Chain A
Amino acid sequence: MGRTLNAEVGKLKPGDRVTVKFEDRPGHLRTPWYIRGKTGWIERVHGEFLNPESLAYGRDGLPKKTLYLVAFNQSDIWGRTSNADKLLVDIYEHWLDPASN
């Protein structure tokens, strides 16, 4: 996995399984710690938005990034529950890799 598949990430569509990157770098990051490294699926394509990681430092936020609504099973995130509850997070394309399974 990696660069080649990432190049296709702009074409993610509802139903696609994705894994959130586990990155740990300085800056204004809007991907919560608890979801990094977790696998879920695309629920909705929200559209393109200016990149907050750039806007936070007074830059122009370009190029725009595709924002996705990504759904996860609660049981996959915390390992504690066995019900069908879900957790949904708005995540930018550059934080997502197609899931390997």
Chain B
Amino acid sequence: MARGHHDVGGLPGAGPIDQTEHQLSDWEILADAVNQALGAKGIKRTDEMRRAREEMDSAAYRDMTYYERWIASIEAILIEKNILTKEEIDRKLREFDAKWGEP
């Protein structure tokens, strides 16, 4: 076993604190709200979401932005709980591609 990629207290190599703040995009506000709504309905617990982020691919954990990690963990937990499937989500995304063009 080894230290989890989330367990970063005291790790060397940290630089200055970047104090710039960004206005949340619509998708980030939505990610936040969906996460909270799922919690309020008792569908998932914060502990499960944290665990999902700890289980992510470590490179993705460092490279993704904060809300991208949230979206990844929301998806992982919903799939784990058989509420959604990856296929359904992928299919829905292909519908978006068809309507709006690929990213």
A residues with a Cβ closer than 8 A to B are 24-26, 28-29, 32-35, 52, 55-58, 77-78
Contact = CB atoms under 8 A, between A and B. Distances in A.
A28 B50 CA distance: 8
Contacts of B7: 32-33
B14 to A, nearest CB: 13
Contact of B54 (A24, A28, A33, A77): A28
B11 to A, nearest CB: 8
Interface centre among A25, A35, A57, by most chain B C-beta atoms within 10 angstroms, is: A57
14 contacts: A26-B1, A28-B47, A28-B54, A32-B10, A33-B7, A33-B9, A33-B10, A35-B9, A52-B47, A55-B48, A56-B48, A56-B50, A58-B45, A77-B10
Interface string B4-29: 10010110000000000000000000
Contacts of B51: 28, 56-57
Contacts of A26: 1
B39 to A, nearest CB: 12
User: Which range holds the interface residue count of chain B?
Assistant: 10 to 19
Contact of A32 (B9, B54, B81): B9
A55 B1 contact: no
Given A33-B7, A55-B48, 4 more contacts: A25-B1, A32-B9, A56-B45, A56-B51
Contacts of A56: 45, 47-48, 50-51
A33 B3 contact: yes
B1 A58 contact: no
B3 to A, nearest CB: 4
A6 to B, nearest CB: 22
Given A24-B1, A28-B54, A33-B3, A55 B45 contact: yes
